[in-house]
Amino acid sequence: PYRGMWLGLGAGAGSSLVTCAVCIEDREGGPSGYLRLGGTVSPSVLIGGEGTLWVQNGEDVDQLLGSLNGIVLLYPQPSKGFHVKGGVGVLRYGISDGPDLEDTARVTSLGVQLGVGYDLPVSPGYSITPFVNFVASSYGSLEQDNDVLATQVNVTLIQFGLGLSAH
């Protein structure tokens, strides 16, 4: 069980989809991960912050999605390790067709996150955590150099992998 401060780091794969009023893109896969830190409110409730990252380097374009969220982890039965997660924060997505950052189009919007995981103790104070997360943005505008390229842009990410938690 968690006590006091805790830290988690996870890595795996992610699948992102970008949609807007005039476009529907295909889902793209790439490496993904998270870093989170927080405190224990009770054996059943943990609160903290989490940063999520996903990248996709394609032949024509590079994509980067990041989010920073306040999160709550709920353990219905703390001794069992299963938990659900919810969070809200800021999501930022960028797409670029070259190495020059000035060529990057970006959308920044409100983001929400839902997830599940299961802590498997490996030694006192450490757990391996298989996880699945869903991250989604509110609708925003894709902009480049103060020009609006698309409106009502929505970004979603399905993320899964393994995490390591210190508690």
- DSSP label at residue 103: G
User: What is the helix (H) or strand (E) element at residue 102, kind and residue range?
Assistant: none
- pTM for the structure as a whole: 0.90
Q: Across the 167 residues of the chain, what is the mean pLDDT of every consecutive 10-residue run? A: 90 94 81 98 96 91 95 94 97 85 86 97 95 95 91 94 95
> Count of alpha carbons within 13 Å of 154, Cβ hemisphere only?
13
pLDDT tens per residue across span 58-83: 878 899 999 999 999 999 998 899 99
- d(CA 72, CA 47) in angstroms, rounded, equals 5
Measured torsion, CA atoms of residues 144, 146, 152, 158, in degrees rounded to the nearest 10: 40
> 3-state DSSP call for residue 135?
strand
